[in-house]
Amino acid sequence: MAARLQGYYERAGKTGEARRLWQEIMATWPEAKVPQLYLGISLENMGLTEEAAAAYATLLRLDPAYGEALYRLGAIRILQGAWEPGAAMMREAAT
**Nearest by Cα to 76 from 63, 64, 93:** 93
Cα dist. 77→2, 52, 64, 80 in Å?
Answer: 25, 11, 17, 5
What pLDDT is stored for residue 68 in this prediction? 97
pTM of the model: 0.92
Contact 6, 18 (CB under 8 A): yes
State residue 17's pLDDT score.
93
Q: Residues of the chain whose pLDDT is less than 70?
A: none
* pLDDT for 1: 85
